[in-house]
Amino acid sequence: MNRQILCAGLLAASLAQAGEIAVNQVGYAPGAAKIAAVPAVEATAFTVVDNASGRTVLRGRLGAAARWEPAGQDVRLADFSRLARPGHYRLHVDGLPDSPPFIVAADAYAAVNAAAIKAFYFNRASTPLLGVHAGHWARPAGHADDHVLVHASAAGPGRPEGTVIAAPKGWYDAGDYNKYIVNSGITVYTLLAAWEHFPAFFKAQKLNIPETDKSSGGLPDLLSEALWNLDWMLAMQDPADGGVYHKLTNKGFDGVVMPAAATGERYVVQKTTAATLDFAAVMAQAGRVFAAFEAQRPGLSARMRSAAERAWRWAQAHPREVYHQPPDIRTGDYGDDKLDDEFAWAGAELFITTGEARYRPDLETLAISVPGWGDVKGLAWVTLSSNRRKLGENDSVVVKARIMTLADELLATWQASAYRVGMRPQDYNWGSNSGALNRALMLIQAYRLKPRPELLAAAQALFDHVLGRNPLGQSMVTGFGAKPPLHPHHRPSEADGVEAPVPGFLVGGPNPGQQDKAGCPVAYAAAQPALSYLDHFCSYSSNEVAINWNAPLVYVSAALQALTPGAPSTAPAR
Ligand code: G3I
Ligand code: 9MR
Instruction: List ligand 2's pocket residues with C-beta within 6 A.
Output: 174-176, 253, 332, 519, 540, 544
Nearest C-alpha to atom 18 of ligand 2 is from which residue? 519
Does the pLDDT of residue 179 top 70, yes or no? yes
pLDDT (tens digit per residue) in 248-298 = 999 999 999 999 999 999 999 999 999 999 999 999 999 999 999 999 999
Does the pLDDT of residue 101 top 60, yes or no? yes
> Looking at 148-162, 318-332, 558-572, which range is the least confident one?
558-572
pLDDT (tens digit per residue) in 219-261 = 999 999 999 999 999 999 999 999 999 999 999 999 999 999 9
Does the pLDDT of residue 332 top 50, yes or no? yes
**356 has catalytic annotation:** no
> What is the structure's pLDDT at 10?
43
Does the pLDDT of residue 18 top 80, yes or no? no
3-state secondary structure of 75: strand
Residue 172 Cα, ligand 2 centroid: separation in angstroms? 14
Which one of 92, 143, 489, 490 is the catalytic residue? 489
Measured from the Cβ of residue 46, the count of other Cβ atoms closer than 10 Å reads 25
Residue 94 Cα, ligand 1 centroid: separation in angstroms? 42
Q: What mean pLDDT comes out for the span 202-217?
A: 79
Q: How far apart are alpha carbons 471 and 75 in whole angstroms?
A: 9
Side-chain half-sphere of 305: how many Cα atoms within 13 Å? 16
CA angle, residues 550, 488, 108, in degrees to nearest 5: 45
Residue 50, beta-bridge partner list: 89
Helices 181-197 and 547-563, axial angle in degrees (round to 10): 10
Which one of 20, 375, 535, 536 is the catalytic residue? 535
Does the pLDDT of residue 216 top 90, yes or no? no
Q: How far apart are alpha carbons 481 and 558 in whole angstroms?
A: 18
> What is the structure's pLDDT at 394?
96
Residue 56 Cα, ligand 1 centroid: separation in angstroms? 46
Decide which of 3 and 243 is more confident.
243
Check if the beta carbon of residue 311 is closer than 8 Å to that of residue 237.
Answer: yes
End-to-end, the C-alpha distance of the chain in Å comes to: 47
Sign of CA dihedral 35, 114, 284, 433: negative
Does the pLDDT of residue 4 top 70, yes or no? no
Kindly give the number of the ligand 1 atom that is closest to the alpha carbon of 541: 43
**362 has catalytic annotation:** no
Q: What mean pLDDT comes out for the span 363-389?
A: 98
Contacts of 170 (CB under 8 A, 6+ apart): 124, 125, 126, 145, 179, 184, 228, 229, 231, 232, 233, 248
Answer yes or no: is the C-beta of 374 below 6 A from any ligand 1 atom: yes
Answer yes or no: is the C-beta of 544 below 6 A from any ligand 1 atom: yes
**176 has catalytic annotation:** yes
Question: Mind listing the domains of the chain with CATH numbers?
Answer: 3-108+467-563 (2.60.40.10), 123-358 (1.50.10.10)
Q: What mean pLDDT comes out for the span 194-223?
A: 87
Q: Give the global pTM.
A: 0.96
Sign of CA dihedral 534, 507, 28, 455: negative
> What is the structure's pLDDT at 573?
41
Q: Are strands 179-180 and 245-249 parallel, antiparallel or unpaired?
A: antiparallel
Does the pLDDT of residue 529 top 80, yes or no? yes
pLDDT (tens digit per residue) in 111-124 = 999 999 999 999 99
> What is the structure's pLDDT at 211?
76
